[in-house]
Chain A
Amino acid sequence: MLHDYFGVLVFLIVGAVVGAALLVLGFILAPRHADPVKGAAYECGFEAFEDARIPFDVRYYLVAILFIIFDLEIAFFFPWAVALRELGPAAYAAMAVFFAVLVVGFAYEWRRGGLEWE
């Protein structure tokens, strides 16, 4: 069983090697002329006033938190969905309760306006 994963390992290595080779090739083949203007961040022609790492909208955090909750939910679903046929009525009931809790949470989130992007 474990030897099936050998292909995965090889593919990960080959994928990384292809990327690294491209990078090296690009840096060797291409001309490189340093220039202070070339090295500046792109801001439609004028010079940057300050650091670009600005504060951003807090809603992005909210989306990230929601994502973690829902993605975990999906991760819990996976083994259940695979073993569904062997597990019987108890597993159905358990998943129904779990699912219902999630749906209530989702409805609450919706009502509180957590999904609004005006």
Chain B
Amino acid sequence: MTFGGITLSPEDLRAVVRTVGAVVLTTVGVILSVAYLTYAERKVIGYMQARLGPNRVGRWGLLQPFADVFKLLSKEPVIPDAASRAVFVGAPLLVLTPALAAWAVIPFAPHTAIAPINAGLLYLLALTSLGVYGVILAGWASNSRYALLGAMRSAAQIVSYEIAMGFALVGVLMAAGTLDLGHLVARQAPNILHWYVIPLLPLFFVYFISAVAETNRAPFDVVEGESEIVAGFHVEYSGVMFAMFFLAEYANMILVSTLAATLFLGGWASPFAGLPWGLLAAPGFFWLALKVMILLFCFLWFRATFPRFRYDQIMRLGWKVFVPLTIVWISLEGVALWYRVGPWFAR
């Protein structure tokens, strides 16, 4: 078969179909995970506050996420008269596309990333940075004061924590010596003692807390601090456009949790690897999913537990605590690498 001068053999065609199929499957998987993450959030926080959470739609409220989706789809998407229409409609697209496309390089199990590129981590850093453009454009295009204030706060917060997050990634890179996420997980073999969370524990905490701040989740959610600026940058959004911001936020939560599990907690590796326990010690998608769920539970737990930070406290934590902490730890790691300390830096 020929497309514009490019000839494809049947094998090529099959590979193309396989890739497209895998991409569609992953996208559906991510969207379904988002749906049930919202359900889990309402249930978990409900029980933590001695309420029942959703329990009307379907058994135990299990169909609640679908009811929410249909409701949002059938609501009118209002575009304010003073808004810049094209940018206003384009912004949610600019937030959602990178939140989905970032999944291309995630290794779900041994040798099962859709695009096992050798610059995987760089690709992720680039795509996750793109989200902030959507936020700032959404806030500006709304032509509303709350939206503009929310967008400025959100952008400044996201870029501040991006620094701490980037330094934490540099720490992982120094230990692993590769940007390929599949190799990165393989380097954390053969057992739990080799997971990077052990030599890089402070960086793991910096990374995970920065991830909470990056996704604008509680207790770092001043960007949508209801009591002062209503809903922040997406105050003017309704219906399906609001749903897209919502989808992107939750997809990003799952993404950063998956990354934390991949970079620090051995990804698809079993915590019992190396022990003679048969299936329990075997690597697989199940382990990655379990680690991601534990981290996501922490997101919900934080939201139910901590009061919201003040904005100046957030900026102070990012710049004056996390950046110096990562600088010190990277320097120490450099020394440890020089002297080939422990099993982590020997290679």
Contacts and interface: CB of A to CB of B under 8 A. Distances in A.
What are the nearest 9 A-B pairs in CB distance? A26-B240, A7-B115, A117-B312, A15-B100, A39-B81, A74-B166, A81-B173, A41-B144, A11-B104
A46 interface: no
B118 interface: yes
Nearest to A68: B159
A63 B143 contact: no
Most B C-beta atoms less than 10 A away, residue of A64, A74, A110: A74
B241 A26 contact: yes
A92 B333 CA distance: 12
A30 interface: yes
A56 B156 CA distance: 12
A74 B316 contact: no
A10 B19 contact: yes
Contacts of A74: 163, 166-167, 169-170
Contacts, number: 218
* Interface of B, helix, strand, loop or mixed by DSSP: helix
Interface stretch (B40-48, B71-79, B275-283): B71-79
B89 interface: yes
B19 A6 contact: yes
B93 interface: yes
A82 interface: yes
Contacts of B334: 92, 95-96
A59 B156 CA distance: 9
Contact of B114 (A11, A43, A95): A11
B173 A67 contact: no
